[in-house]
Amino acid sequence: MVLLTALRFQKLRRYLFPFVLVALLAVSACSQTSGGETSVSPTANPTAQELEQRALPQLNGTATVVMVVKGAPITIEVNGNDAPLTAGNFVDLVQRGVYNGTVFHRVIRDPDPFVAQGGDPQSQDPEVPASRLGMGNFVDPDTQQPRYIPLEIKPEGSDDPIYSQTLVDALPVLKHRRGAVAMARSTAPDSASAQFYFALEDLVFLDGSYAVFGYVTDGMDVVDGIQQGDRIESATVTEGLENLQR
């Protein structure tokens, strides 16, 4: 058996760490049926008519959302110009009060800053066991069905986002720089629902694979202080609600 030296181990850990983190991010947002199988499968790139038929909320412009965690505000500028469906979904959920009282169930800072992830609607219930946190989705009260949104990423130089597929040979307009806010999902591209995460550092290796829809513009020190188990006391749309189209 070959023993790794401490130096070689550190190099190997730093090489593998991004891949391990992506796996953790995906698993934590798994959408499941009662049988435990992923309920959403990758779909072809939808047309504008198909997106309209899904009756998903859209944000035509920008909006400002203020979250309060441990009594301190976090201001998020939500970008509906470059991610209209993802931003519209988030603003709609904020307006519905879905995030109030939800838990940050995954916070990873070691060995490098990664994400603070939360927004699981079922985490509002203190009786939900810790083993189930990170498995919930938003259930539309009108349809009694989970609402999922397609993976939406706008490539640089493009007028419109692409849907239901990751970017391979292009860079996204909205990148995972420190303070980015993006949707968590399972391995299926179109499985994002309510869970989101704050990027605690520049996360270039996530660009093109997960949908960024906004950035923290004030209160990043509050984000840096989030601990696993902290709750969102409130989330409010303070500007741009008129840009939300349901």
Evaluate if residue 12 carries a pLDDT over 50.
no
Render pLDDT for 144-177 as a digit per residue (tens, 0 to 9).
999 999 999 999 999 999 999 999 889 999 999 9
Render pLDDT for 183-231 as a digit per residue (tens, 0 to 9).
999 999 999 999 999 999 999 999 999 999 999 999 999 999 999 999 9
| Residue extents of the structural domains in the chain | 7-33+40-245
Evaluate if residue 5 carries a pLDDT over 50.
no
More confident residue, 242 or 10: 242
Q: Looking at residue 51, what is its pLDDT?
A: 53
Nearest to residue 154, comparing CAs of 144, 146, 142, 162?
A: 162
Evaluate if residue 246 carries a pLDDT over 50.
yes
Helices (H) and strands (E) in the chain, counts: 4, 14
pTM over 0.75: yes
- Within 10 angstroms of residue 27's Cβ, the number of other Cβ atoms is 14
Fold held by 7-33+40-245: Cyclophilin (2.40.100)
Render pLDDT for 190-202 as a digit per residue (tens, 0 to 9).
999 999 999 999 9
- DSSP, res 87: H
Nearest to residue 28, comparing CAs of 127, 148, 108?
A: 108
Identify the burial level of 184 via C-beta atoms within 10 angstroms of its C-beta, where 0-12 means exposed, 13-18 middle and 19 or more buried. Answer: buried
Render pLDDT for 129-148 as a digit per residue (tens, 0 to 9).
787 888 899 999 998 999 99
- Whether 163 and 51 have beta carbons less than 8 Å apart is answered as yes
Q: Looking at residue 16, what is its pLDDT?
A: 44
Evaluate if residue 28 carries a pLDDT over 70.
no
Q: Looking at residue 11, what is its pLDDT?
A: 40
Could you report how far apart the first and last alpha carbons of the chain are, in Å? 61
* Amino acid making up residue 219: G
Identify the burial level of 18 via C-beta atoms within 10 angstroms of its C-beta, where 0-12 means exposed, 13-18 middle and 19 or more buried. Answer: middle
Mean pLDDT of 27-37: 37
Distance CA 42, CA 150 (A): 9
